[in-house]
Chains A and B, each alone.
Chain A
Amino acid sequence: MNLTHADVEEILQLLDASPFDELELETDRFKLILRRSAAPQGGWTQQTETRSKAKVVASAPGKATAAAAAPAIDKDDGTLPVRAPLIGTFYRAPKPGAPPFVDAGTRVTADTVVGIVETMKLMNSVMAGTAGVIVAIEAADGEFVEQNHVLMRVQPAT
């Protein structure tokens, strides 16, 4: 359980009448430090630290993110990033030793497969997402990437 605002007020009322100037309360989930202020007007301060970790569950990556608006241009040069659809290992070729799906200069359509991200033994195709020309490969073959890591950049066809 977490402390409510009323709990903290009650603890402070007890502390106020006590000779103590500081209270540290620590659990697996949070840490709370209450401190008596040295300022002339008195009063107490609180400092909290939420220790529990976010329990993130992936929401159908394809479905949910496919619904997102057109990818934003995040560089001034007008290129668009091709991002990792999820966390995993990035591969530039369909199998070891095979030629890469694309290289700098390759023309692509939005549906062109440009790489693979392997997550828990599952191969996920990475699509260019935009028609145009690949201008830069920004992740190395076999590199472990976070979700949304920029793998390459496409210059959109005009």
Chain B
Amino acid sequence: MTSIRRLMIANRGEIAVRIIRTCRELGIETVLAASEADIDSVPARLADRTMRIGAAAPASSYLNIDALVTAAIEARVDAVHPGYGFLAENAAFAERCHSAGITFVGPDIDQLRAVGDKLEARRHAVAAGLPVVPGGSVTTLTEAQSIAGDIGVPLLVKAVAGGGGRGMKLVRNIADLPAMLDLAMSEAKAAFGDPRVYLERFVASGRHVEVQLLGDGEHIIHLGDRDCSVQRRYQKLIEEAPAPGLPEKLRAAMHAAAVAFGRHLRYRGLGTVEFLVDTLRSDFYFLEMNARIQVEHPVTEAITGLDLVAEQIAVAEDRPLRLKQMDVHWRGHALECRVNAEDAQRDFRPSPGTVRTAIFPAGVGVRVDTHIESGARVPPFYDSLLAKIITSGADRAESLHRMSTALGLCHIEGVETNVAMHSAVIAEPDFMRGGVDTSWFAGCLTRSQNKVP
């Protein structure tokens, strides 16, 4: 067992504040690695010490492995907590920490590698017996017709070398398959120099539901699920736990699948298995695994009463899990709204600057995770997350009611925020009913824009 007495936080913003808070409760001394732009930030003021690691640009600071490892060695820390984003899932960074004799608060290096590559992760998921989006790679029309017969229509023809929506064809009618396949293959060859394609079932309506895992390499438990379907361009905006209105059988199957995946990897640390729930078929598929603490972890903390950062640190210290599955209890419901410095009225244009006033809600069932207070600077170099408003209650209705009040009490001046947008979204009847899919928010935006003359 390696006891952590001094820990470096290789991150910034609200997650740095969050990690410092737990370290303080655990009696761990904190060293914040801060860029030039963050040298006077709230986490820098809260940390026991702050080290300059480089210029404001992430490449020179929060992504600068040499500078971070040098600083960690100099500060004689026992461990480095990478937070989320930046180098949180970077196997090379974990390896460098490891060779310097510093504990990386995260899973083992081979586990980072196993889940870091999407195809590799999918291979592991199949090996662990998890459902993946049905499909397969094809080279001939006969193969394509055979696979199409298995997965049905609508289906997608995707270029192996494609990505981000490029090189994708939707086939609604099986009769169109030969023509679409020809087209997809010749386009793939022209665009990517690689004619390989694969077929995949098209999920017309999907929800993003994820399962929180905690493992010590030996034992793996789950801490329940979260729904993160309210997204804009793959960025999550609102999360909740538990996922509302899931058939209990489906929920239990997803929990079991996530644990099976963790067991297959002998996972050691905190991680999240993301699933796509096909709402029409009431089925689910493995998407990917995130091998780190997540932005939305507070909703799980709110309904389990656990401190996930503390559990993560305990595992990093090589301690066996302190919880058994039967010790995990869920109470009530929690929601989280991500307050971003962006102008929702102007196509979510980022709004850096100096926060003149920052007044946040407080009270029973209200938690605010933030690095923002009056006078705080929001530098243009990093993401726009200002605060996370988390509310919990005995049930979803109470949690929603508290969120509505809490958002109304937010008062942030100096930068534009999306608080008013959140207030409008959570008052939408579809959202209040619960269980919207990942395309809902975009549609909701279009409808609200059409309302404006």
Cα–Cα, bound, A47→B48 (Å):
22
User: CB-nearest residue of chain B relative to A11?
Assistant: B362
Cα–Cα, bound, A50→B75 (Å):
24
B contact residues around A60 at 8 Å (CB): 70-71, 74
Cα–Cα, bound, A39→B406 (Å):
11
> Is A9 part of the contact surface with B, judged by Cβ < 8 Å?
yes
B contact residues around A48 at 8 Å (CB): 373
B contact residues around A49 at 8 Å (CB): 373-374
B contact residues around A68 at 8 Å (CB): 54-55, 59-61, 64, 67
B298-313, CB < 8 A from A: none
Cα–Cα, bound, A69→B63 (Å):
10
Q: Is the CB of A54 within 8 A of B374?
A: no
User: CB-nearest residue of chain A relative to B54?
Assistant: A68
B contact residues around A42 at 8 Å (CB): 405
CB distance from B178 to the nearest CB of A (A): 49
CB < 8 Å: which of B48, B59, B359 contacts A69?
Answer: B59
Q: Is the CB of A44 within 8 A of B363?
A: yes
Count of A-B contacts with CB under 8 A?
Answer: 136
User: CB-nearest residue of chain A relative to B298?
Assistant: A5
Q: Is the CB of A56 within 8 A of B52?
A: yes
Q: Is the CB of B42 within 8 A of A50?
A: yes
Cα–Cα, bound, A68→B376 (Å):
26
A57 with B405, Cβ < 8 A, contacts A45-B361, A69-B59 known: no
> Is B329 part of the contact surface with A, judged by Cβ < 8 Å?
no
User: CB-nearest residue of chain A relative to B72?
Assistant: A59
A12 with B364, Cβ < 8 A, contacts A64-B66, A65-B54 known: yes
B contact residues around A45 at 8 Å (CB): 359-362, 409, 411
Q: Is the CB of B52 within 8 A of A58?
A: yes
A contact residues around B42 at 8 Å (CB): 50
CB distance from A117 to the nearest CB of B (A): 15
Q: How large is the interface on A (under 10, 10 to 19, 20 to 34, 35 or more residues)?
A: 35 or more
B68-93, CB < 8 A from A: 70-71, 74-75
CB < 8 Å: which of A4, A57, A69 contacts B50?
Answer: A57
A contact residues around B411 at 8 Å (CB): 45
B contact residues around A13 at 8 Å (CB): 364
Q: Is the CB of B66 within 8 A of A56?
A: no
A contact residues around B66 at 8 Å (CB): 63-64, 67
B346-400, CB < 8 A from A: 358-364, 367-368, 373-374
> Is A34 part of the contact surface with B, judged by Cβ < 8 Å?
yes
Q: Is the CB of B405 within 8 A of A43?
A: yes
Cα–Cα, bound, A3→B234 (Å):
35
Q: Is the CB of B67 within 8 A of A50?
A: no
Cα–Cα, bound, A39→B391 (Å):
19
A contact residues around B54 at 8 Å (CB): 64-65, 67-68
> Is A119 part of the contact surface with B, judged by Cβ < 8 Å?
no
Q: Is the CB of A64 within 8 A of B373?
A: no
CB distance from B435 to the nearest CB of A (A): 26
* 14 more A-B residue pairs beyond the given contacts A43-B408, A48-B373, with a C-beta to C-beta distance below 8 A: A4-B25, A9-B363, A9-B364, A41-B404, A41-B408, A43-B406, A46-B362, A49-B374, A52-B45, A55-B47, A59-B67, A59-B74, A64-B52, A68-B67
A-B contact pairs, 20 of them (CB 8 A): A2-B21, A2-B24, A12-B364, A39-B408, A39-B409, A41-B408, A43-B408, A43-B409, A44-B362, A45-B360, A45-B361, A52-B45, A54-B45, A57-B75, A58-B52, A59-B51, A64-B71, A67-B64, A67-B67, A68-B60
